[in-house]
């Protein structure tokens, strides 16, 4: 496993099988978590800071949404369907899929040097200036250079690292911090975040960041050629330069 | 190429065999140690079983978080209750002196406890949080007698595995596994915040299970049955909650 050049990778596979399988499992589970999370959210679309908060207390902020439960009284009526039962069952089942898939991916990634070789910004790119050049280049709207079909630029690498090692662990932590059972074993999970309601609010904010990443990620793929990139993540094979031309 | 695919085939085969064997062993262990919840069937069964098993192993003998008195919520919230029945109003007029909690099933001495009987058992207090599955919560002081003491009074038979409990409200029943039933913070609650337990919050008698979400904390408790299986109760899913689509285990 010597340092392989981007060209050598393209000759074999753009994405390893483990990356492809864990990627699509995560996509499925993430969408399930997002839909069920929204379903649970509309039963009480108010957010608080600290340990506790309820309909009798002033919220930190409140979403202008109709609710699925009559006693929330958010000012927009009770027009939403109530799906908390299946929503919660599916939310936690999908959370297991994300957590176990993530565990396999991270262990494999460390073992095979995936993070070091493919996701850590390359030596010359580890500065704010280099990162800025990548950002301005992408903002100028140039299509991704051909070599980017085979390797990630510094901005992509930094973003993936933040999503994998900050946002996903944080969303799992803040979720577990809402469990009365889990916090009996690990009280610090809630207290370090400022309490149960702070954890719930952070869970929502981190979800927004993940949705933001998801949107930009899909948009960038669409810009680079949706089917070309999607095919690479399914079959593992990147298009050759000839196909691109 | 053929060498590589053979190696892959062998590795893959070994991994699959290990995986299937591991699952079979896990299934046997889970059943042997009571880590399979009563609502383990259906498409949500695997997730529910993982959650219940992991939480049971992780939280054995742990206390739910308790809070200083200064953190008691000034504005607690209770989901509005259905209008009380005539029988309930009559009992309320008598100061609930005729309220009985019958405890039966797999016990040596089936007993009907009055509230005074329960008050004569060791009364304790805890300042813990009620968290609803909807997302809201409040901290309150709960005063009552641990369920474990009542179960000791009636003498639970060794084969007992679950404690089913029933509200006077129709279709409001639930159950706890023995571990949570004997948990020192699982109370038969009669008081709240230095006073009597208000009817809106489940008075005169409420099951308090701080290790689980609000919906396990049944209001207007009047009957407890100790059993070795939840199969004979309702649809056999452990409580009324799964029949309405909600998980039996509400620790998360």
Residues 6+ apart with CB under 8 A from B90: none
To the nearest whole Å, the CA of B125 is away from the closest chain A CA by 17
Name the pLDDT band for A240 (thresholds 50, 70, 90).
Answer: low
Neighbours of A226 (CB within 10 A): 12
Tell if the CB–CB gap between A179 and B133 is shorter than 8 Å: no
For B140, the closest chain A residue by CA position comes to A52
Report d(CA B135, CA B51) in Å as an integer.
Answer: 19
Judge whether A15 and A236 are in contact, CB under 8 Å.
Answer: yes
Kindly state the tokens that stand for A158: 């930094």
pLDDT of B78 over the 70 cut: yes
Residue that wins the pLDDT comparison between B194 and A196:
A196
Average pLDDT over every residue of B220-232: 97
For A58, the closest chain B residue by CA position comes to B75
To the nearest whole Å, the CA of A174 is away from the closest chain B CA by 12
User: What pLDDT is stored for residue B77 in this prediction?
Assistant: 96
Q: Rounded to a whole number, what is the largest CA-CA distance in chain A? A: 65
From the list B67, B211, B252, the residue facing A92 with the nearest CB is: B252
pLDDT of A8 over the 50 cut: no
pLDDT of A11 over the 80 cut: no
State the best of B135, B180, B237 to mutate against chain A, taking most chain A CBs within 10 Å.
B135
From the list B50, B80, B213, the residue facing A180 with the nearest CB is: B213
Average pLDDT over every residue of A221-232: 91
Tell if the CB–CB gap between A85 and B246 is shorter than 8 Å: yes
pLDDT of A242 over the 70 cut: no
Tell if the CB–CB gap between A181 and B212 is shorter than 8 Å: yes
Neighbours of B182 (CB within 10 A): 17
Tell if the CB–CB gap between A71 and B80 is shorter than 8 Å: yes
User: Per residue in B167-181, pLDDT tens?
Assistant: 999 999 999 999 999
Q: Are strands B187-192 and B195-196 parallel, antiparallel or unpaired?
A: antiparallel
Using only the alpha carbons of chain A, give its radius of gyration. 21
Per DSSP, B236 falls in state S
Tell if the CB–CB gap between A180 and B50 is shorter than 8 Å: no
Average pLDDT over every residue of B155-166: 97
Using only the alpha carbons of chain B, give its radius of gyration. 22
In degrees, rounded to 5, the angle at the alpha carbon of residue B235 between the alpha carbons of residues B176 and B112 is 50
Kindly state the tokens that stand for B107: 């016990």
This model of the complex carries an ipTM of 0.90
Judge whether B196 and B252 are in contact, CB under 8 Å.
Answer: no
Report d(CA B23, CA B43) in Å as an integer.
Answer: 17
User: What pLDDT is stored for residue A224 in this prediction?
Assistant: 87
Q: What is the count of residue pairs from A and B with beta carbons less than 8 Å apart?
A: 131
Counting Cβ atoms within 10 Å, is residue A176 exposed (0-12), middle (13-18) or buried (19+)? Answer: buried
User: What pLDDT is stored for residue A57 in this prediction?
Assistant: 95
To the nearest whole Å, the CA of B245 is away from the closest chain A CA by 5
Contacts of A72 in chain B (CB under 8 A): 134
State the best of A52, A72, A78, A199 to mutate against chain B, taking most chain B CBs within 10 Å.
A52
Strand ranges in B40-136 using DSSP code E only, listed in sequence order: 100-105, 111-114, 124-131
For A178, the closest chain B residue by CA position comes to B252
Percentage of chain A surpassing pLDDT 90?
65
Report d(CA A175, CA A103) in Å as an integer.
Answer: 17
pLDDT of B12 over the 90 cut: no
User: Per residue in B183-208, pLDDT tens?
Assistant: 999 999 999 998 999 999 999 999 99
User: What pLDDT is stored for residue A245 in this prediction?
Assistant: 35
pLDDT of A7 over the 50 cut: no
pLDDT of A2 over the 50 cut: no
Long-range contacts from A174-177, C-beta under 8 angstroms, 24+ separation:
A174/A199, A174/A200, A174/A202, A174/A203, A174/A206, A175/A95, A175/A203, A176/B252, A177/A203
User: What pLDDT is stored for residue A3 in this prediction?
Assistant: 47
Helix extents (H) in B33-156: 45-59, 86-93, 115-120, 147-154
Is B114 in the A-facing interface, judged by CB distances under 8 Å? no
For A187, the closest chain B residue by CA position comes to B65
pLDDT of A129 over the 80 cut: yes
Residues 6+ apart with CB under 8 A from B176: B162, B163, B165, B186, B209, B216
Residues 151-170, chain A, touching B (beta carbon < 8 A): none
In degrees, rounded to 5, the angle at the alpha carbon of residue B41 between the alpha carbons of residues A185 and A36 is 65
User: What pLDDT is stored for residue A145 in this prediction?
Assistant: 56
* Torsion from C-alpha of B83, B84, B89, B91, nearest 10 degrees: -160
pLDDT of A68 over the 80 cut: yes
Counting Cβ atoms within 10 Å, is residue A120 exposed (0-12), middle (13-18) or buried (19+)? Answer: middle
Is A82 in the B-facing interface, judged by CB distances under 8 Å? no
User: What pLDDT is stored for residue A238 in this prediction?
Assistant: 79
In degrees, rounded to 5, the angle at the alpha carbon of residue B79 between the alpha carbons of residues B77 and B84 is 120
State the best of A60, A181, A189 to mutate against chain B, taking most chain B CBs within 10 Å.
A181
Kindly state the tokens that stand for A116: 């070091």
User: What pLDDT is stored for residue A243 in this prediction?
Assistant: 44
Range scoring the smallest mean pLDDT among A132-146, A209-223, B125-139, B150-164: A132-146
User: What pLDDT is stored for residue A131 in this prediction?
Assistant: 81
Tell if the CB–CB gap between B252 and A40 is shorter than 8 Å: no
pLDDT of A10 over the 60 cut: no
């Amino acid at each position: 496993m010597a340092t392989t050049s981007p060209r050598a990778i393209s000759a074999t596979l753009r994405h390893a099988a483990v990356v492809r399988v864990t990627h699509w499992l995560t996509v499925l589970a993430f969408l399930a978590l997002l839909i069920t999370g929204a379903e649970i959210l509309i039963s009480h679309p108010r957010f608080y800071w600290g340990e506790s908060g309820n309909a009798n207390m002033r919220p930190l902020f409140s979403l202008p949404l109709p609710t699925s439960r009559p006693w929330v009284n958010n000012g927009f009526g009770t027009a939403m369907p109530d799906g908390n039962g299946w929503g919660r069952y599916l939310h936690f089942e999908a959370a297991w899929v994300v957590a176990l898939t993530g565990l396999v991916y991270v262990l494999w990634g460390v073992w095979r040097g995936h993070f070091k070789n493919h996701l850590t910004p390359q030596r010359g790119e580890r500065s704010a200036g280099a990162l800025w050049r990548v950002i301005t280049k992408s903002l100028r709207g140039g299509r991704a250079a051909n070599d980017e079909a085979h390797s990630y630029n510094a901005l992509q690498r930094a973003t993936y690292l933040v999503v994998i090692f900050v946002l996903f662990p944080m969303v799992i932590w803040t979720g577990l911090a809402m469990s009365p059972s889990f916090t009996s074993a690990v009280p610090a999970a809630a207290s370090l975040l400022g309490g149960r309601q702070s954890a719930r609010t952070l869970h929502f904010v981190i979800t927004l960041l993940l949705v933001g990443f998801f949107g930009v990620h899909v948009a960038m793929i669409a810009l680079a050629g949706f089917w070309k990139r999607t095919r690479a993540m399914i079959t593992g094979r990147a298009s050759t330069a000839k196909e691109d031309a | 190429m053929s060498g590589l695919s053979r190696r892959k085939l062998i590795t893959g085969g070994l991994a699959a065999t290990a995986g299937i064997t591991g699952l079979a062993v896990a299934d046997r262990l889970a059943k042997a140690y009571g880590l399979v919840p009563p609502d383990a069937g259906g498409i949500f069964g695997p997730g529910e079983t993982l959650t219940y098993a992991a939480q049971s192993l992780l939280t054995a003998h742990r206390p739910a978080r308790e809070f200083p008195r200064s953190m008691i919520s000034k504005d607690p919230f209770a989901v509005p209750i259905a209008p009380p029945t005539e029988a309930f109003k009559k009992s309320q007029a008598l100061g609930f002196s005729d309220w009985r909690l019958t405890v039966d099933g797999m016990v040596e001495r089936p007993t009907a406890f009055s509230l005074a009987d329960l008050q004569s058992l060791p009364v304790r207090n805890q300042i813990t949080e009620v968290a609803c599955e909807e997302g809201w919560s409040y901290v309150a002081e709960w005063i009552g007698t641990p369920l474990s003491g009542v179960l000791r009074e009636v003498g639970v038979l060794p084969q007992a595995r679950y404690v089913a409990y029933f509200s006077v409200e129709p279709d409001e029943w639930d159950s706890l596994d023995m571990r949570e039933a004997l948990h020192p913070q699982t109370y038969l609650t009669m008081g709240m915040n230095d006073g009597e337990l208000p009817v809106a919050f489940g008075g005169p008698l409420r099951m308090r299970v701080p290790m689980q979400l609000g919906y396990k904390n049944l209001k207007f408790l009047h009957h407890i049955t100790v059993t070795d299986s939840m199969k004979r109760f309702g649809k056999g899913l452990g409580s009324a909650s799964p029949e309405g689509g909600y998980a039996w285990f509400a620790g998360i």
